Amino acid sequence: MEYKIPEHFYFRIHHARPRFKNDVENVLIYVAESIAKLEPMPEADFAQRLNQAIYGYPGNAHKELKTINNWRTEISSLFGFVQHNDNDIAEAGRRAKELAEDGDLVAFFKTYLYSFQYPGAHIKSHAILEQIEHGIHFKPAQYILRLLTHIKKVEGANIGLTKGEICHCVFNDLRVTRDGEDVSLVWERIKANRKNKLTYDMTGDVIRYAGDIVDYMEIANLLKTWDSRTYYLNDLETETIVKFIESKEWFPGYDRMIASRSGSLDAINSVYFDWFSFVNRDMDTTDFKTDILAYIATDQQEYEALKNTGKEITDRIEAEEEFTTKDIGDMGENLVHGHECMRVKIGGREDLIHLIKRIPTQFAVGYDISSVELDERKRYIEVKTTISSKPLHFNSVHLTRNEWNTASTTRDAYYVYRLMISKGATKLFLLQDPVGLYKQDKINMIPNDGADITFDPKAVGRFEDLLVWRH
Protein backbone atom coordinates (compact mmCIF):
# COMPACT_ATOMS: atom_id res chain seq x y z
CA MET A 1 0.00 0.00 0.00
CA GLU A 2 1.21 3.53 -0.80
CA TYR A 3 1.59 6.27 1.81
CA LYS A 4 -0.52 9.37 1.24
CA ILE A 5 -0.17 12.69 3.01
CA PRO A 6 -3.56 13.74 4.41
CA GLU A 7 -5.05 16.03 1.77
CA HIS A 8 -5.37 19.06 4.08
CA PHE A 9 -1.62 18.84 4.84
CA TYR A 10 -0.45 18.30 1.27
CA PHE A 11 1.42 21.08 -0.53
CA ARG A 12 4.16 20.43 -3.03
CA ILE A 13 7.01 22.92 -2.74
CA HIS A 14 9.42 23.43 -5.61
CA HIS A 15 12.33 25.50 -6.88
CA ALA A 16 13.94 26.32 -10.22
CA ARG A 17 15.39 23.11 -11.60
CA PRO A 18 18.47 23.37 -13.86
CA ARG A 19 18.46 21.52 -17.15
CA PHE A 20 22.09 20.64 -16.48
CA LYS A 21 21.34 18.88 -13.16
CA ASN A 22 23.30 15.76 -14.12
CA ASP A 23 26.37 17.87 -14.90
CA VAL A 24 25.84 20.54 -12.28
CA GLU A 25 29.37 20.62 -10.83
CA ASN A 26 31.14 21.05 -14.16
CA VAL A 27 28.64 23.68 -15.28
CA LEU A 28 28.75 25.71 -12.08
CA ILE A 29 32.51 25.99 -11.86
CA TYR A 30 32.70 26.91 -15.56
CA VAL A 31 29.97 29.54 -15.26
CA ALA A 32 31.33 30.90 -11.97
CA GLU A 33 34.72 31.44 -13.59
CA SER A 34 33.04 33.10 -16.59
CA ILE A 35 30.87 35.39 -14.46
CA ALA A 36 33.72 36.36 -12.14
CA LYS A 37 35.58 37.84 -15.11
CA LEU A 38 32.75 40.24 -16.01
CA GLU A 39 32.71 43.83 -14.80
CA PRO A 40 29.47 45.43 -13.57
CA MET A 41 27.42 46.53 -16.57
CA PRO A 42 23.82 47.11 -17.67
CA GLU A 43 21.71 44.00 -17.23
CA ALA A 44 21.08 43.49 -20.94
CA ASP A 45 24.81 43.66 -21.72
CA PHE A 46 25.63 41.36 -18.81
CA ALA A 47 23.08 38.82 -20.03
CA GLN A 48 24.54 38.92 -23.54
CA ARG A 49 28.10 38.41 -22.29
CA LEU A 50 27.02 35.57 -20.03
CA ASN A 51 25.13 33.94 -22.90
CA GLN A 52 28.33 34.04 -24.97
CA ALA A 53 30.16 32.23 -22.17
CA ILE A 54 27.41 29.60 -21.85
CA TYR A 55 27.55 28.97 -25.60
CA GLY A 56 31.24 28.17 -25.03
CA TYR A 57 30.48 25.32 -22.63
CA PRO A 58 31.16 21.95 -24.31
CA GLY A 59 28.12 20.81 -26.25
CA ASN A 60 26.33 24.17 -26.24
CA ALA A 61 27.69 25.73 -29.43
CA HIS A 62 24.67 24.87 -31.56
CA LYS A 63 21.92 25.06 -28.95
CA GLU A 64 19.00 27.41 -29.47
CA LEU A 65 19.07 30.82 -27.82
CA LYS A 66 16.02 29.84 -25.74
CA THR A 67 17.99 27.00 -24.14
CA ILE A 68 20.97 29.28 -23.42
CA ASN A 69 18.65 31.86 -21.86
CA ASN A 70 17.15 29.15 -19.67
CA TRP A 71 20.60 28.11 -18.46
CA ARG A 72 21.42 31.71 -17.62
CA THR A 73 18.22 32.43 -15.70
CA GLU A 74 18.34 29.11 -13.84
CA ILE A 75 21.93 29.68 -12.74
CA SER A 76 21.18 33.25 -11.74
CA SER A 77 17.98 32.56 -9.82
CA LEU A 78 18.77 29.21 -8.18
CA PHE A 79 22.42 29.72 -7.27
CA GLY A 80 22.56 33.50 -6.92
CA PHE A 81 25.58 33.93 -9.17
CA VAL A 82 24.44 37.34 -10.41
CA GLN A 83 23.59 40.36 -8.29
CA HIS A 84 21.37 43.21 -9.47
CA ASN A 85 20.67 46.69 -8.22
CA ASP A 86 17.96 49.29 -8.68
CA ASN A 87 19.92 51.01 -11.45
CA ASP A 88 19.58 47.96 -13.74
CA ILE A 89 23.24 47.10 -13.27
CA ALA A 90 24.25 43.44 -13.00
CA GLU A 91 27.51 42.11 -11.59
CA ALA A 92 29.13 38.91 -10.42
CA GLY A 93 27.81 37.76 -7.06
CA ARG A 94 30.07 37.01 -4.13
CA ARG A 95 29.28 33.28 -4.33
CA ALA A 96 30.36 33.09 -7.98
CA LYS A 97 33.59 34.93 -7.22
CA GLU A 98 34.38 32.63 -4.30
CA LEU A 99 33.84 29.49 -6.36
CA ALA A 100 35.92 30.86 -9.22
CA GLU A 101 38.77 31.70 -6.85
CA ASP A 102 38.72 28.61 -4.62
CA GLY A 103 37.48 25.88 -6.96
CA ASP A 104 35.81 24.39 -3.89
CA LEU A 105 32.44 23.06 -5.03
CA VAL A 106 31.91 21.26 -1.75
CA ALA A 107 32.20 24.51 0.22
CA PHE A 108 30.03 26.29 -2.35
CA PHE A 109 27.18 23.83 -1.87
CA LYS A 110 27.45 24.11 1.91
CA THR A 111 27.14 27.89 1.65
CA TYR A 112 24.31 27.59 -0.86
CA LEU A 113 22.31 25.16 1.31
CA TYR A 114 22.97 27.21 4.45
CA SER A 115 20.96 30.08 2.95
CA PHE A 116 18.47 28.17 0.81
CA GLN A 117 14.89 28.47 1.99
CA TYR A 118 11.26 28.41 0.93
CA PRO A 119 10.01 30.92 0.00
CA GLY A 120 12.89 32.53 -1.88
CA ALA A 121 13.43 34.37 -5.16
CA HIS A 122 14.74 31.21 -6.81
CA ILE A 123 11.17 30.77 -8.16
CA LYS A 124 8.84 33.14 -9.99
CA SER A 125 6.83 35.70 -8.06
CA HIS A 126 3.45 34.00 -8.49
CA ALA A 127 4.93 30.76 -7.08
CA ILE A 128 6.38 32.68 -4.12
CA LEU A 129 2.94 34.13 -3.49
CA GLU A 130 1.42 30.65 -3.49
CA GLN A 131 3.94 29.51 -0.86
CA ILE A 132 3.25 32.62 1.21
CA GLU A 133 -0.49 31.97 1.11
CA HIS A 134 0.18 28.45 2.45
CA GLY A 135 2.37 29.82 5.25
CA ILE A 136 5.55 28.06 4.08
CA HIS A 137 8.57 28.86 6.28
CA PHE A 138 11.14 26.13 5.67
CA LYS A 139 14.90 25.59 5.41
CA PRO A 140 15.22 22.09 3.93
CA ALA A 141 18.87 21.26 4.62
CA GLN A 142 18.60 22.40 8.23
CA TYR A 143 15.47 20.33 8.85
CA ILE A 144 16.84 17.18 7.21
CA LEU A 145 20.01 17.42 9.32
CA ARG A 146 17.96 17.94 12.48
CA LEU A 147 15.86 14.91 11.61
CA LEU A 148 18.81 12.63 10.90
CA THR A 149 20.63 13.84 14.03
CA HIS A 150 17.55 13.07 16.12
CA ILE A 151 17.25 9.61 14.58
CA LYS A 152 20.89 8.83 15.39
CA LYS A 153 20.46 10.02 18.97
CA VAL A 154 17.29 8.09 19.80
CA GLU A 155 18.12 4.93 17.85
CA GLY A 156 21.80 4.79 18.77
CA ALA A 157 22.79 4.25 15.15
CA ASN A 158 23.32 6.27 12.00
CA ILE A 159 20.08 5.32 10.26
CA GLY A 160 19.46 6.72 6.80
CA LEU A 161 16.42 8.06 4.98
CA THR A 162 15.31 7.53 1.39
CA LYS A 163 14.39 10.26 -1.06
CA GLY A 164 10.83 8.97 -0.96
CA GLU A 165 10.65 9.37 2.82
CA ILE A 166 12.19 12.83 2.68
CA CYS A 167 9.84 13.91 -0.12
CA HIS A 168 6.56 12.62 1.30
CA CYS A 169 7.20 12.96 5.02
CA VAL A 170 9.11 16.26 4.95
CA PHE A 171 8.98 18.30 1.74
CA ASN A 172 5.33 17.95 0.76
CA ASP A 173 3.81 17.98 4.23
CA LEU A 174 2.58 21.29 5.64
CA ARG A 175 3.00 19.95 9.16
CA VAL A 176 6.73 20.33 8.46
CA THR A 177 7.06 23.15 5.94
CA ARG A 178 4.41 25.40 7.49
CA ASP A 179 4.13 24.33 11.11
CA GLY A 180 7.73 23.28 11.79
CA GLU A 181 6.65 19.97 13.29
CA ASP A 182 9.08 18.48 15.78
CA VAL A 183 11.43 16.02 14.10
CA SER A 184 10.56 13.35 16.66
CA LEU A 185 7.01 13.17 15.29
CA VAL A 186 8.26 12.88 11.71
CA TRP A 187 10.54 10.01 12.68
CA GLU A 188 7.69 8.19 14.41
CA ARG A 189 5.61 8.59 11.25
CA ILE A 190 8.42 7.23 9.07
CA LYS A 191 8.96 4.30 11.46
CA ALA A 192 5.24 3.48 11.37
CA ASN A 193 5.32 3.53 7.56
CA ARG A 194 8.29 1.16 7.60
CA LYS A 195 6.58 -1.17 10.06
CA ASN A 196 3.45 -1.22 7.91
CA LYS A 197 5.56 -1.70 4.77
CA LEU A 198 4.06 1.34 3.07
CA THR A 199 5.59 2.44 -0.23
CA TYR A 200 6.02 5.94 -1.66
CA ASP A 201 5.27 7.40 -5.06
CA MET A 202 8.76 7.60 -6.57
CA THR A 203 7.73 9.15 -9.89
CA GLY A 204 10.44 11.52 -11.06
CA ASP A 205 8.17 14.55 -11.22
CA VAL A 206 7.01 13.86 -7.67
CA ILE A 207 10.32 13.45 -5.83
CA ARG A 208 12.61 15.57 -7.99
CA TYR A 209 12.70 18.68 -5.77
CA ALA A 210 13.38 16.82 -2.55
CA GLY A 211 15.82 14.69 -4.55
CA ASP A 212 17.68 17.79 -5.75
CA ILE A 213 18.25 19.07 -2.23
CA VAL A 214 19.39 15.66 -1.00
CA ASP A 215 21.79 15.37 -3.96
CA TYR A 216 23.16 18.84 -3.23
CA MET A 217 23.63 17.84 0.41
CA GLU A 218 25.66 14.86 -0.73
CA ILE A 219 27.82 17.09 -2.94
CA ALA A 220 28.28 19.33 0.10
CA ASN A 221 29.54 16.28 2.02
CA LEU A 222 26.80 16.66 4.63
CA LEU A 223 25.22 13.36 3.65
CA LYS A 224 26.67 10.15 2.31
CA THR A 225 25.15 7.29 0.37
CA TRP A 226 26.34 3.97 -0.98
CA ASP A 227 23.42 3.10 -3.23
CA SER A 228 21.94 6.51 -4.20
CA ARG A 229 18.76 5.45 -2.43
CA THR A 230 19.41 5.85 1.29
CA TYR A 231 21.19 8.91 2.72
CA TYR A 232 23.03 9.09 6.05
CA LEU A 233 24.67 11.80 8.13
CA ASN A 234 28.34 12.22 7.36
CA ASP A 235 29.98 11.79 10.77
CA LEU A 236 33.12 13.57 9.57
CA GLU A 237 31.20 16.84 9.12
CA THR A 238 29.83 17.12 12.65
CA GLU A 239 31.07 20.69 13.18
CA THR A 240 29.40 21.93 10.01
CA ILE A 241 26.21 19.98 10.69
CA VAL A 242 25.95 21.64 14.11
CA LYS A 243 26.33 25.05 12.43
CA PHE A 244 23.42 24.22 10.14
CA ILE A 245 21.21 22.92 12.92
CA GLU A 246 21.83 25.88 15.25
CA SER A 247 21.63 28.57 12.56
CA LYS A 248 19.10 31.36 13.10
CA GLU A 249 19.79 33.00 9.74
CA TRP A 250 16.73 33.56 7.59
CA PHE A 251 15.74 35.93 4.79
CA PRO A 252 12.98 38.04 6.39
CA GLY A 253 11.71 39.80 3.28
CA TYR A 254 8.49 37.79 3.11
CA ASP A 255 7.87 37.34 6.83
CA ARG A 256 5.01 39.82 7.25
CA MET A 257 3.22 38.31 4.28
CA ILE A 258 3.81 34.77 5.58
CA ALA A 259 2.39 35.75 8.98
CA SER A 260 -0.79 37.06 7.40
CA ARG A 261 -0.92 34.35 4.71
CA SER A 262 -1.40 37.03 2.09
CA GLY A 263 0.67 39.26 -0.12
CA SER A 264 0.94 40.85 -3.52
CA LEU A 265 3.19 40.46 -6.52
CA ASP A 266 4.29 44.08 -6.09
CA ALA A 267 5.33 43.43 -2.49
CA ILE A 268 7.20 40.27 -3.52
CA ASN A 269 8.95 42.01 -6.39
CA SER A 270 9.96 44.88 -4.10
CA VAL A 271 12.31 42.57 -2.16
CA TYR A 272 13.70 40.76 -5.22
CA PHE A 273 17.09 42.47 -5.04
CA ASP A 274 17.19 41.99 -1.27
CA TRP A 275 17.05 38.21 -1.73
CA PHE A 276 20.14 38.17 -3.93
CA SER A 277 21.94 40.48 -1.53
CA PHE A 278 21.09 38.01 1.24
CA VAL A 279 22.44 34.93 -0.55
CA ASN A 280 25.57 36.89 -1.50
CA ARG A 281 26.16 38.38 1.96
CA ASP A 282 29.55 38.30 3.69
CA MET A 283 29.82 34.88 5.34
CA ASP A 284 33.46 35.00 6.39
CA THR A 285 32.49 34.15 9.96
CA THR A 286 30.90 30.92 8.71
CA ASP A 287 33.91 29.18 7.20
CA PHE A 288 32.83 26.21 5.10
CA LYS A 289 36.16 25.76 3.34
CA THR A 290 36.65 22.07 2.75
CA ASP A 291 38.76 19.99 5.06
CA ILE A 292 40.20 17.89 2.23
CA LEU A 293 41.17 15.05 4.52
CA ALA A 294 37.64 14.74 5.90
CA TYR A 295 36.38 14.78 2.35
CA ILE A 296 38.49 11.93 1.05
CA ALA A 297 38.49 9.86 4.25
CA THR A 298 35.91 7.11 4.72
CA ASP A 299 36.02 7.12 8.51
CA GLN A 300 37.71 8.75 11.50
CA GLN A 301 40.56 6.24 11.55
CA GLU A 302 41.45 6.94 7.94
CA TYR A 303 41.14 10.66 8.59
CA GLU A 304 43.73 10.50 11.37
CA ALA A 305 46.06 8.48 9.14
CA LEU A 306 45.72 10.98 6.29
CA LYS A 307 46.98 13.79 8.49
CA ASN A 308 50.47 12.50 7.76
CA THR A 309 50.13 12.84 3.99
CA GLY A 310 51.56 16.35 3.97
CA LYS A 311 55.12 16.71 5.19
CA GLU A 312 54.56 20.11 6.78
CA ILE A 313 51.60 18.80 8.79
CA THR A 314 53.62 15.72 9.78
CA ASP A 315 56.50 17.89 10.97
CA ARG A 316 54.17 20.06 13.03
CA ILE A 317 52.47 17.06 14.61
CA GLU A 318 55.84 15.58 15.57
CA ALA A 319 56.88 18.94 17.04
CA GLU A 320 53.60 18.95 18.99
CA GLU A 321 52.61 22.27 17.43
CA GLU A 322 48.98 23.38 17.30
CA PHE A 323 47.28 23.36 13.93
CA THR A 324 43.77 24.32 12.95
CA THR A 325 41.06 22.95 10.72
CA LYS A 326 42.06 25.63 8.22
CA ASP A 327 45.56 24.16 8.06
CA ILE A 328 44.04 20.83 7.11
CA GLY A 329 41.63 22.63 4.78
CA ASP A 330 44.63 24.04 2.90
CA MET A 331 45.75 20.49 2.29
CA GLY A 332 45.85 20.90 -1.49
CA GLU A 333 49.18 22.67 -1.27
CA ASN A 334 50.26 20.41 1.59
CA LEU A 335 49.57 17.34 -0.54
CA VAL A 336 51.64 18.77 -3.39
CA HIS A 337 54.40 19.70 -0.94
CA GLY A 338 54.41 16.10 0.30
CA HIS A 339 54.40 14.88 -3.32
CA GLU A 340 57.49 16.93 -4.11
CA CYS A 341 59.33 15.78 -1.00
CA MET A 342 58.55 12.17 -1.85
CA ARG A 343 59.59 12.66 -5.50
CA VAL A 344 63.00 13.91 -4.40
CA LYS A 345 63.32 11.18 -1.78
CA ILE A 346 62.50 8.43 -4.29
CA GLY A 347 65.04 10.00 -6.64
CA GLY A 348 67.76 9.44 -4.09
CA ARG A 349 68.19 13.10 -3.11
CA GLU A 350 66.69 13.20 0.36
CA ASP A 351 69.34 15.79 1.15
CA LEU A 352 67.38 18.30 -0.97
CA ILE A 353 64.06 17.99 0.86
CA HIS A 354 64.80 20.98 3.09
CA LEU A 355 64.85 23.16 -0.05
CA ILE A 356 61.20 22.41 -0.85
CA LYS A 357 59.09 25.13 0.74
CA ARG A 358 55.58 26.54 0.61
CA ILE A 359 55.58 30.27 -0.06
CA PRO A 360 53.19 32.39 2.03
CA THR A 361 50.50 34.01 -0.11
CA GLN A 362 51.33 37.50 1.10
CA PHE A 363 54.75 37.28 -0.55
CA ALA A 364 53.02 37.33 -3.99
CA VAL A 365 55.91 35.73 -5.85
CA GLY A 366 53.71 34.12 -8.52
CA TYR A 367 53.92 30.52 -7.31
CA ASP A 368 52.95 28.49 -4.26
CA ILE A 369 55.84 26.06 -3.79
CA SER A 370 59.54 26.44 -4.37
CA SER A 371 60.80 22.97 -5.25
CA VAL A 372 63.92 21.46 -6.75
CA GLU A 373 64.98 19.05 -9.47
CA LEU A 374 67.24 16.11 -8.71
CA ASP A 375 70.13 18.03 -10.28
CA GLU A 376 69.41 20.93 -7.90
CA ARG A 377 67.82 23.25 -10.48
CA LYS A 378 64.80 25.18 -9.21
CA ARG A 379 61.19 24.16 -9.88
CA TYR A 380 58.49 26.78 -9.29
CA ILE A 381 55.01 25.35 -8.75
CA GLU A 382 51.64 27.07 -8.88
CA VAL A 383 49.00 24.80 -7.34
CA LYS A 384 45.41 24.93 -8.59
CA THR A 385 43.08 22.71 -6.57
CA THR A 386 39.47 21.85 -7.36
CA ILE A 387 37.28 19.89 -4.98
CA SER A 388 34.14 18.23 -6.28
CA SER A 389 31.84 15.28 -5.77
CA LYS A 390 32.56 13.88 -9.24
CA PRO A 391 35.69 14.18 -11.41
CA LEU A 392 35.55 17.43 -13.39
CA HIS A 393 36.34 18.12 -17.02
CA PHE A 394 39.76 19.72 -17.24
CA ASN A 395 40.98 21.79 -20.17
CA SER A 396 41.50 25.27 -18.76
CA VAL A 397 43.20 27.22 -16.00
CA HIS A 398 43.52 30.89 -15.08
CA LEU A 399 46.83 32.44 -14.11
CA THR A 400 46.90 35.85 -12.47
CA ARG A 401 48.98 38.61 -14.01
CA ASN A 402 51.69 38.00 -11.40
CA GLU A 403 51.68 34.23 -12.06
CA TRP A 404 51.87 34.71 -15.83
CA ASN A 405 54.73 37.20 -15.45
CA THR A 406 56.63 34.78 -13.21
CA ALA A 407 56.01 32.00 -15.73
CA SER A 408 57.43 34.29 -18.44
CA THR A 409 60.67 34.84 -16.57
CA THR A 410 61.20 31.29 -15.26
CA ARG A 411 59.98 29.47 -18.40
CA ASP A 412 60.63 25.69 -18.25
CA ALA A 413 61.22 25.88 -14.49
CA TYR A 414 57.60 26.95 -14.02
CA TYR A 415 54.88 24.33 -13.51
CA VAL A 416 51.16 24.47 -12.97
CA TYR A 417 50.05 21.53 -10.82
CA ARG A 418 46.31 20.97 -11.16
CA LEU A 419 45.17 18.85 -8.23
CA MET A 420 41.67 17.48 -8.78
CA ILE A 421 40.12 15.97 -5.68
CA SER A 422 36.83 14.09 -5.83
CA LYS A 423 35.22 11.21 -4.00
CA GLY A 424 37.24 8.10 -4.75
CA ALA A 425 39.70 9.81 -7.09
CA THR A 426 42.62 12.23 -6.78
CA LYS A 427 44.33 13.33 -9.99
CA LEU A 428 47.44 15.42 -10.45
CA PHE A 429 48.09 17.10 -13.80
CA LEU A 430 51.37 18.91 -14.58
CA LEU A 431 51.66 21.66 -17.15
CA GLN A 432 55.25 22.82 -17.67
CA ASP A 433 56.24 26.19 -19.15
CA PRO A 434 52.79 27.53 -20.10
CA VAL A 435 54.33 30.62 -21.71
CA GLY A 436 56.58 28.49 -23.92
CA LEU A 437 53.62 26.29 -24.91
CA TYR A 438 51.63 29.39 -25.84
CA LYS A 439 54.45 30.75 -27.98
CA GLN A 440 54.62 27.38 -29.75
CA ASP A 441 50.84 27.55 -30.40
CA LYS A 442 50.31 24.39 -28.35
CA ILE A 443 47.86 26.06 -25.94
CA ASN A 444 45.47 28.98 -26.26
CA MET A 445 45.75 32.06 -24.13
CA ILE A 446 43.37 35.02 -23.75
CA PRO A 447 44.59 37.99 -21.70
CA ASN A 448 42.12 38.60 -18.87
CA ASP A 449 43.66 40.25 -15.82
CA GLY A 450 46.34 37.65 -16.32
CA ALA A 451 45.84 34.73 -18.67
CA ASP A 452 42.98 32.35 -19.43
CA ILE A 453 44.64 29.20 -20.74
CA THR A 454 42.83 26.43 -22.60
CA PHE A 455 44.44 23.27 -23.90
CA ASP A 456 44.04 19.62 -24.76
CA PRO A 457 45.36 17.63 -21.77
CA LYS A 458 46.06 14.73 -24.14
CA ALA A 459 48.41 16.90 -26.22
CA VAL A 460 50.27 18.88 -23.54
CA GLY A 461 51.19 18.20 -19.95
CA ARG A 462 50.97 14.91 -18.15
CA PHE A 463 49.14 13.16 -15.35
CA GLU A 464 51.18 11.80 -12.46
CA ASP A 465 50.26 9.63 -9.50
CA LEU A 466 50.07 11.77 -6.39
CA LEU A 467 52.93 10.63 -4.17
CA VAL A 468 52.04 10.40 -0.48
CA TRP A 469 54.69 11.53 1.98
CA ARG A 470 56.13 8.70 4.03
CA HIS A 471 59.04 8.80 6.47
pLDDT in tens, 312-346: 555 554 555 554 444 544 678 888 998 999 999 99
Residue 461's CB is within 10 A of a number of other CB atoms, namely: 21
pLDDT of residue 134: 98
Euclidean distance between CA atoms 193 and 199, whole angstroms: 8
Q: Which domains does the chain have, with CATH numbers?
A: 7-279 (1.10.10.2090), 292-464 (no CATH)
Question: How confident is the model over 182-190, as a mean pLDDT?
Answer: 98
Which run of H or of E encompasses 430? strand 425-432
Euclidean distance between CA atoms 417 and 340, whole angstroms: 11
Contact 171, 13 (CB under 8 A): yes
Question: How confident is the model over 168-176, as a mean pLDDT?
Answer: 98
pLDDT of residue 284: 81
Contact 125, 269 (CB under 8 A): yes
pLDDT of residue 152 exceeding 90: yes
pLDDT of residue 188 exceeding 60: yes
Contact 417, 103 (CB under 8 A): no
Contact 222, 241 (CB under 8 A): yes
Least confident of 11-20, 167-176, 320-329, 445-454: 320-329
Question: How confident is the model over 299-312, as a mean pLDDT?
Answer: 66
pLDDT of residue 229 exceeding 80: yes
Euclidean distance between CA atoms 139 and 151, whole angstroms: 19
Q: Which residues of 78-109 are buried (b: 16+ CB within 10 A; e: fewer)?
A: bbbbbbbeeeeebbbbbbbbbbbebbbbbbbb
pLDDT band at 10 (very low <50, low <70, confident <90, very high): very high
Say how far residue 385 (Cα) sits from the centre of its chain.
Answer: 13
pLDDT of residue 313: 52
pLDDT of residue 323: 46
Between 426 and 328, name the one with better pLDDT.
426
Euclidean distance between CA atoms 151 and 159, whole angstroms: 7
Question: How confident is the model over 79-96, as a mean pLDDT?
Answer: 90
Question: Angle 24-36/94-102 helices, nearest 10 degrees?
Answer: 110
Helical H runs in 261-324? 265-270, 272-279, 292-296, 300-306, 311-318
pLDDT in tens, 272-302: 999 999 999 999 878 788 877 767 776 777 7
Residue 39's CB is within 10 A of a number of other CB atoms, namely: 9
Contact 403, 453 (CB under 8 A): no
At 448, is the secondary structure helix, strand, or coil? coil
Contact 326, 289 (CB under 8 A): yes
Phi/psi-derived region of residue 192, left when phi > 0, alpha when psi is between -120 and 50, beta in every other case: alpha
pLDDT of residue 349 exceeding 90: yes
In the chain, the percentage of residues whose pLDDT exceeds 90 is 68
Question: Angle 140-155/204-219 helices, nearest 10 degrees?
Answer: 80
Q: Please state, in angstroms and as integers, the Cα–Cα distance from residue 333 to each residue in 3, 41, 413, 418, following that order.
A: 50, 36, 18, 10
Contact 131, 261 (CB under 8 A): no
Euclidean distance between CA atoms 376 and 393, whole angstroms: 34
Phi/psi-derived region of residue 338, left when phi > 0, alpha when psi is between -120 and 50, beta in every other case: alpha
Q: Helix-strand-coil percent breakdown of the chain, rounded to 5? A: 50, 15, 35
End-to-end distance of the chain based on CA atoms, in angstroms?
Answer: 60
pLDDT in tens, 39-79: 999 999 999 999 999 998 888 989 999 999 999 998 888 99
Q: Which residues of 267-301 are buried (b: 16+ CB within 10 A; e: fewer)?
A: bbeebeeebbbbbbeebeebebbbbbbbbbbeeee
Euclidean distance between CA atoms 352 and 345, whole angstroms: 8
Question: How confident is the model over 390-395, as a mean pLDDT?
Answer: 80
* Average pLDDT across the chain, whole number: 90
